[in-house]
Structure 1
Amino acid sequence: MNIEEIIIKRLSEEHLSEEESAFFDKWYQNSSNREYYNDLLKIRSGIIASQVKERIDKRKAWNQVRPARKISLIRTLLKFAAIMILPLSLGVFLLIRENKQEKVVYAEVPVQPGKKQAVLTLSSGQQVMLADTIVHVNEKGMVISNFPDKELVYKIMNDTMKTETIYNTVTVPRGGEYKLVLADGTIVWLNSDSHIRYPVTFSGNTRQVELEGEAYFEVAKDVEKPFIVRMNEYNVRVTGTQFNVRNYSNESLATTLVEGGVQIERKGKVDRLRPGQQAVLENNEIRIRVVNVEEQVAWRHGAFGFTQCRLENIMEELARWYDVDVFYMNQQVKDYHFSAWFKRSSSINEVINILEKTKKISLDLKGRILTVKDISRN
C-alpha cells in the first residue's frame, strides 16, 4: 500500500477501507511518522480555514499533491497553502532549516468556540465578509443588509428583478454560524461548515434553495408557493413550518420536523413527517423515526445535546464548531457511546473536562489537533 495515498485520503476526509485504516494505524505508531502527519494536519487546518473567503473542493485540492517523498509532500502543501490562504487569520506557516533539514513551524491562535461569521457571494461573483461590520449591498433592485445582530436580510426596493432570477450564496466556515432572512421572510439559521444557494427574490410557482451542511428553517407560510430545500439525495417540500436539515457529506441525510408538516420527495416517492419525527436516508432508503427534537436542534439554541451518541459523531460535531482536527489513537473508541449537554459558548477545555469525566477516554489538545485515547482498558 502507498502511505502517501492513504494520507491524502485521510486529509480529504474520504472513507478508508479496513486494510487502509490498519495500515495507517501501524504506520502512525512511529513517533517520527506521527510528528510528520500532525504537521500535515496543521497545514490542512489552515487551508480549510481559508474557506472563510472561498469555498474549496477539498478532494480536488488534495489531488494536486501526490509526491513520492515525505518532504516533498510538506513542501507542496506549504506552497499550496501559501497560494490558497494568503493572509491567513488563524495561523502562520514557516519553513525553516535546521542542520540542512527542513522543519515546519506553525504558529496559531488558541482554539475558540465558533462565532457569527459567513461569506456572501453575489451574482457577480463578488464576495462580502459578514462579521462584525454593517454591510449594505444593492443587488439589482434588492437591498441586502447585514445588521448589528449579525443577520443577513433581503428587502425588495423595486420591481426590476421580476424578469430574471438572480442567485446569491452564503457560506459558513468551520467555527462559524449565521442567520439569514430571505426575501419572502423565511428565516434560515446556518450551522458550521454549511453552504446555501438561493434566489434573491422568488419567482414562479415554488421557492427553491440548495443546501449543503446543516440549517434550521422557519418558513414563511405561502400555500400557493411551496418552499423546497433541494439536496443530492432528496428534496424537502413545505408551505410554512419549522424543521432542521442535516446534509453533511460524511453523514446520513436527516430532516427533523419541529412543527407543521413537511414531505420528503425522492425518486418519485413521497414520505410525510409529523412533528417529532425524523426522516433519515440509510442504505439507500428513507427511514422515519421518532426523535428527541430538543436534542436534534440544540445547536439552534446555543447548545450541544447528545444522548447515547457514538463518540465519533460527537467529535465530528465538535471539530466543526471549534475548528479542530481529531485523531484517534484507538479506533474502537469511535463506537463508545456518551451522553452530554453543554453550551456552544463553552471553551474547548471545558468540553474536554466534561468528556474525560467518563473515565473512558483522555483528550489531548495540541494546537488545533485533538487526540483521543482509550483509557478504559488500562
Structure 2
Amino acid sequence: MEKELEEIIMKQLASDELSEEEKAYFEEWYKESSHQKYFQELLKIHSGIMAYSVKDHVDREKAWRKVRPVRKISRIYEVLKYAVILLLPLCIGILLFTREREKTTTVYVEPIVKPGGKLAVLTLSTGKQVELSERVASMSEQGAKISNSTNNELVYKPVEDVTSTEDVYNTITVPRGGEYKLVLADGTTVWLNSDSYIRFPVTFSGDKRQVELRGEAYFEVAKNMEKPFIVRINDYDICVTGTQFNVRDYSNESVVTTLVEGSIQLERGKQIQKLVPGQQALLVNGRWIIKEVDVTDFIGWREGAFNFKEVCLENIINELARWYDFDVYYQNAEVKNYHFTAWFRRNASIEEVIEVLEKTKKIQMRLDGKILIVQKKSI
C-alpha cells in the first residue's frame, strides 16, 4: 500500500491524471492535516527540481533560495536542498522514512507567491538599518524627528535646535514585493514602488532640495519658489519648484518621466527639456522622445492598481515580478512580444492575474514554486 501511495503522490505532483479510484484514495489521505503539510513539503522539492530543469534560463542558486523554507527544517531536508537534482521518487522514499522518525522536527512554511506590501529598509546616517514593515519607535537625526505612523509612511519633521548646516543623509530601500510612502522634511511626499532606492537629506539646507532615485517613485513636491526640488537619476536631473510627477528608472528599461501637474524641466548636460501636464519624456539612445499620454495609465500603481494598455507581455511580466517577487521562464521566446490590455488591483492574487492574462487565449502560464512558466497557447 505504501508503494501505491508513492505512485499516486508522484502522479499528483506531476499533474498527471489520476483514476477515479486513485483520486478518491488521495483525497481521503489528504484530509489529514499532517498529510497536507507533508505533501506541500514535496511540492517544494518538486519546485527545486524544476528550477534545475530550466538552469540554462534561470540562475539555479537564486531559484532555490526562492523555493526553500524560511524556517529551520529537519536535517534530512537541509541535505535535500543541496541534493535537489536527485530523482523525485528517491526524495519521496526518503521523506516517507523521515516523516515517521522526525515528525516533531519538521516545520512547514508554505512557499506561495503573493502580492507585495508595505516593506522598506531605512538606513540612517550612522549606518544603522531599520526595517519599516511595521511601526517602529520615533528616532532622531541631526535636525529632524523621524517616525512612521500606523498608515505605514515615514515622516521627517524638522526641529529648531540644529547646530550644524552640513547635510545629513538617509536612504530608503524598497525590495521586490514592497512599496512605501515617505514625507520629507520640506513636506514633499514620495511614493516608492518595488525594487527602488532613494537617498535624501534629513533636512534641506542651502538654495536647493536634492534627492537621488533609482527605480520608480511618484513625487508630490511641496512648493517653494526659492528652493527648487531636484531629483537626480542615472541619466539626467529633474528640476521643479512644486508639482506632481512620476519617474521610472529601472535597469534595462528606457527612463520615463510623466508629468501630472505643474511643470518640470529635464536637464542633461547642456540639454534642457520642459514638460507640461499630460506629457511624458522617454530617453532613448541619449535623446528625449516627448509624447502626450493618459497619465492614469502610468500612475495607477500609486492608487493600488495595474493598468496596461497594449503593453508587450515581457514588460507586463517584469512589472508583476517586481511586485509579486517571482522569477520567470519563457518556453517560447516569441510570446514576449505579444501585446495585452489588462487591469487588476495590486492586491489581487497571482492566480487571478494569471486567469486574466490567459483569457486572451494566446498564452498559458503556471507557477512552479516561485517560478512563473510562460508558453504559447497550444491549439
1:1-378 map, 5 Å: 34-35=52-53, 37=55, 41=59, 43-44=61-62, 88=70, 95-96=78-79, 102-103=83-84, 109-160=111-162, 162-375=164-377, 378=379
CA contact (8 A) 1:162 1:203 kept: no
Which 5+ residue runs of structure 1 have no aligned equivalent? 1-30, 50-77, 79-86
**Bigger share in strand:** 1
Higher relative contact order (CA 8 A, sep 6+): 2
In 1: Cα distance, 2:178 partner to 2:57 partner? 24
CA contact (8 A) 1:92 1:108 kept: no
CA contact (8 A) 1:136 1:146 kept: yes
CA contact (8 A) 1:41 1:369 kept: no
In 2: Cα distance, 1:139 partner to 1:196 partner? 17
CA deviation map 1:18-68 (0-9, x unaligned): xxxxxxxxxxxxx9895262996564267699xxxxxxxxxxxxxxxxxxx
What is the letter of the counterpart of residue 44 of structure 1? K
Task: Provide the secondary structure at the position in 1 that maps to 2:138.
Answer: strand
What is the letter of the counterpart of residue 266 of structure 1? R
1:333 deviates by 0.5
In 1: Cα distance, 2:192 partner to 2:375 partner? 32
1:163 deviates by 1.7
* CA distance 1:36–1:308, shift in 2 (3 Å): closer
CA contact (8 A) 2:297 2:308 kept: yes
Which 5+ residue runs of structure 2 have no aligned equivalent? 1-48, 86-90, 92-107
CA contact (8 A) 1:261 1:274 kept: yes
What is the letter of the counterpart of residue 96 of structure 1? V
Q: Which residue of 2 aligns with 1:25?
A: none
In 1: Cα distance, 2:271 partner to 2:187 partner? 29
1:161 deviates by 5.2
Aligned pair count reads 309
In 2: Cα distance, 1:245 partner to 1:92 partner? 46
* CA distance 1:46–1:256, shift in 2 (3 Å): farther
CA contact (8 A) 2:191 2:302 kept: yes
* CA distance 1:43–1:268, shift in 2 (3 Å): same
* CA distance 1:204–1:287, shift in 2 (3 Å): same
* CA distance 1:367–1:243, shift in 2 (3 Å): same
* CA distance 1:90–1:139, shift in 2 (3 Å): farther
1:304 deviates by 0.2
What is the letter of the counterpart of residue 53 of structure 2? E
In 1: Cα distance, 2:232 partner to 2:74 partner? 38
Task: Provide the secondary structure at the position in 1 that maps to 2:274.
Answer: strand
What is the alpha-carbon root mean square deviation over aligned residues?
A: 2.9
What is the letter of the counterpart of residue 157 of structure 1? V
CA contact (8 A) 1:46 1:88 kept: no
CA deviation map 1:285-336 (0-9, x unaligned): 1111111200110001000000000000000000000000011101110100
In 2: Cα distance, 1:125 partner to 1:335 partner? 43
1:375 deviates by 1.2
* CA distance 1:239–1:270, shift in 2 (3 Å): same
TM-score by length of 2: 0.76
Task: Provide the secondary structure at the position in 2 that maps to 1:288.
Answer: strand
In 1: Cα distance, 2:179 partner to 2:303 partner? 12
In 2: Cα distance, 1:144 partner to 1:91 partner? 39
In 2: Cα distance, 1:267 partner to 1:41 partner? 38
1:109 deviates by 2.5
1:160 deviates by 1.8
Identity %: 55
What is the letter of the counterpart of residue 364 of structure 1? R
TM-score by length of 1: 0.76
In 2: Cα distance, 1:266 partner to 1:353 partner? 43
In 2: Cα distance, 1:358 partner to 1:371 partner? 17
